[in-house]
Amino acid sequence: AEAEDVRVNFEVSKACEAELHHYCASVKPEGALGCLELHLGGSDFGAPCATAVRATMRLALQDYRLHPQVKAACEPTLPRVCPTVPPGEGAVLRCLLDGEGSGNLTDKACARAIRQAARSAFVSYTPRHAITDLCDDDIGRLCAAPDAARRAAALRGAPGPLEESSLDLNGDSELVGAELWPCLSHKAHAEPTSFRSSACASLVERLSLDPKVSLEEAEERAKELSETLSKSSRKQRALLKKVRAAKAETSASRSEGDAERDRALAEMRAVQSEIGVKTTELSALREKLAYAEAMREEAERLQAEAQARLSSGVVINRGVA
């Protein structure tokens, strides 16, 4: 578990001592890297820590055995979902992701872990990676580097439709995950037929919030779902009491009691089904919300980095990407 456990990952533990204390003090060591990754865009997140975290995550995304969350959650299901896929070069992760998309991967913990791994791959996006390579062509076509005018507007903080094109927020002529994601997620939700790879469009849609839905609206929906689940759980408990009461009926009124029990059982099954659907929806929404917030924080960090350089008079010019 070296990739995830900061106790044995010397580079991360050394570079991220302050960040671990600030962001992840209450997180178990084996989950600390995931916590750090979630807060990469934080205002107090240092560059050495960010570099160490990204390098470690890139390594983990090459082999599921180096990704403890995926390894722990998915190893039991591998013989069924990916029986002939060799480890290494992200092949098992890609296979699991395909299974998650097709519905063949039914283990919820594994599905959640592989979605998080895919989100990590887009945060630290590099071409020709086994998880995200299905999107390489569409990223190049649909979310190409901005022209000089758009880059200048981004550096000035000028308002504009981020979703229409990627923005080189820090002005280094290189596009990273947080700069590409607004464009890619917008296209997947609004123009999925513009993708040459339908698998890429489907993957991005599953991982992202619909850009037409604000974070505030999504948070309100999550609150509504939580309240609905609470009401359904109370109703389920009341129905369970009714079933037990019907079972306790005397033999003289057993026929009536059986009918009442059957009605209550049928209603309880319907409530249980509703709870399952709403729980799945709420879990997916919370995942997408956390990712959207992390990407937004990272984008803000990149833009602040560029503005700080402009204020200091330092300009990076590597040519237009």
Instruction: Reduce the DSSP state of residue 61 to 3 states and report it.
Output: coil
% of the chain residues with pLDDT over 90: 14
pLDDT at 175: 73
Average pLDDT over residues 134-145: 82
CA distance 122 to 126: 8
Vertex 243: Cα angle to 240 and 245 (nearest 5): 110
pLDDT at 183: 85
Orientation angle between helical segments 108-123 and 91-102, nearest 10 degrees? 120
**Residues 302, 180: contact at Cβ < 8 Å?**
no
314 Cβ contact list (under 8 Å, min separation 6)? none
Bigger pLDDT: 268 or 205?
A: 205
Q: For residue 242, what are its two tokens? A: 């009714």
CA distance 112 to 290: 13
pLDDT at 35: 80
Q: Looking at mean pLDDT, say which of 37-46, 172-181, 184-193, 304-313 comes out highest.
A: 184-193
pLDDT at 58: 79
Q: For residue 87, what are its two tokens? A: 């480890």
Average pLDDT over residues 64-84: 88
Q: Is the pTM of this model over 0.85?
A: no
Average pLDDT over residues 208-224: 84
CA distance 175 to 278: 37
CA distance 19 to 17: 6
From residue 198, give the alpha-carbon distance in Å to each of 96, 106, 112, 117.
17, 22, 21, 20
Q: For residue 247, what are its two tokens? A: 């079972």
What is the average pLDDT value for the chain, to the nearest integer?
78
pLDDT at 77: 92
Bigger pLDDT: 1 or 25?
A: 25
